[in-house]
Amino acid sequence: MKKYLFCIVVSLFLTSCNYGLFPQQNQSATTILKNNKVWEEVIIETQFYSSLQETLIEQGFSVEYALDFTRSLKWDKFLSRLKDGDPIRILVYQKNTEQNRIVYSKIKALKITHNTKDYYAIYFKDGYYGKNGEILNSTLFLRYPLLKKPIITSHFNLHRKGPFSRRTRPHKGTDFGVLRGTSVIAPADGIVTNVSYQARGAGRYITLKHRANLKTVYMHLSKVLVKKGQKVKKGELIAKSGNSGRSTGPHLHYELHFKNNPVNAMTFKFPQESIIPTLAPNDTKYFKYLSTRMGYLLQ
Ligand SMILES: [Zn+2]
């Protein structure tokens, strides 16, 4: 399959367009200065061939970036349906290095047309969104609220039997074997809804509320670093693990609740659809503008 690439310098493109379409933002600034280097906004027009990674590598993106980009999107099923020759348009910034090589920025927007339907990935703030603001990133909710992949010392099990009686003693969370003082991070953006202490149970614990009816709980902490009502970002340090409350040794007991029911945080499939609306109300307006602009440029 013959692949082709041609770039359209958007600044030229825009001069020939009616600026009135985008009256509010500084949308005409398609040539930007960054580190004293001129970055130009360009559109790469190509066709799907073999896989999205390969298509991107073929266009000059690094192998690492192409893999990273493809993996970061929840597009597994969609990508497997694509056929060689499906049109792809990519909006990206590019600059020329002193060695006259072209370097690309992160992909700003990408459109794939499959069976006459258009699919978009639009970069906004810290992730990729679909045309209507739906989340495309697969990594918006971290699997572990820790910096390193931990050892699981006790799994989620709602039918666990107690050690001495035959009574069911459900284990509503996952226990991670971590040393006292290990950093605990927020697995996703959220708000601190509870900071409490329960001497005979959870010990020092906190609860976070996230989008889409999701809640997380962290127990047996040694130190809490957030306050009730505080907003936290994904990856933000929220506590130090410990051994407080009823606990037989230092560990972190971590719970995930969906619609107020405990679920297995290690296997839970985060509901993409239910995460809509994904954008904060303040962001929605700007995203709409951005999405319209990207749709227009990638037409
Ligand atoms: Zn536990």
Given pLDDT bands bounded at 50, 70 and 90, which one contains residue 4? very low
Q: What is the pLDDT of residues 225-236, one digit of tens each?
A: 999 999 998 778
The answer to whether residues 72 and 137 touch, using CB atoms and an 8 Å cutoff, is: yes
Given pLDDT bands bounded at 50, 70 and 90, which one contains residue 30? low
Q: Would 80 be classed as within a structural domain? A: yes
* CA 173 / ligand 1 centre spacing (Å): 6
* Mean pLDDT of all residues in 88-115: 90
pTM to 2 decimals? 0.54
Taking Cα atoms as reference points, which of 175, 107, 101, 168 lies closest to residue 144?
175
* CA 99 / ligand 1 centre spacing (Å): 57
* CA 171 / ligand 1 centre spacing (Å): 6
**Residue 120 and residue 74 share a domain:** yes
Q: Would 12 be classed as within a structural domain? A: no
CA dist., res. 208 & res. 230, Å (int):
9
pLDDT at residue 212 tops 90? no
CA dist., res. 67 & res. 77, Å (int):
16
**Residue 286 and residue 263 share a domain:** no
* CA 175 / ligand 1 centre spacing (Å): 5
**Residue 174 and residue 99 share a domain:** no
**Residue 160 and residue 74 share a domain:** no
Q: What is the pLDDT of residues 248-276, one digit of tens each?
A: 899 999 999 999 999 999 988 876 543 44
pLDDT at residue 6 tops 60? no
Q: What is the domain range of residue 27?
A: 20-135+279-297
* CA 22 / ligand 1 centre spacing (Å): 53
Given pLDDT bands bounded at 50, 70 and 90, which one contains residue 73? confident
**Residue 156 and residue 81 share a domain:** no
Q: What is the pLDDT of residues 131-168, one digit of tens each?
A: 888 778 766 678 889 888 889 999 999 988 766 667 78
The answer to whether residues 83 and 29 touch, using CB atoms and an 8 Å cutoff, is: no
The answer to whether residues 217 and 265 touch, using CB atoms and an 8 Å cutoff, is: no
pLDDT at residue 31 tops 70? no
Q: What is the pLDDT of residues 276-286, one digit of tens each?
A: 445 666 788 88
* CA 5 / ligand 1 centre spacing (Å): 55
- Domain CATH number, residue 64: 3.10.450.350
**Residue 184 and residue 91 share a domain:** no
Q: What is the pLDDT of residues 118-127, one digit of tens each?
A: 999 999 876 7
* CA 182 / ligand 1 centre spacing (Å): 16
* CA 236 / ligand 1 centre spacing (Å): 22
* CA 228 / ligand 1 centre spacing (Å): 23
Number of domains in the chain: 2
Question: What is the average pLDDT score of the chain?
Answer: 82
The answer to whether residues 295 and 119 touch, using CB atoms and an 8 Å cutoff, is: no
Tell which wins on pLDDT, 243 or 142: 243
CA dist., res. 163 & res. 169, Å (int):
9
Q: Outline where DSSP puts E strands in 141-227.
A: 152-154, 174-176, 183-185, 190-198, 203-210, 214-224
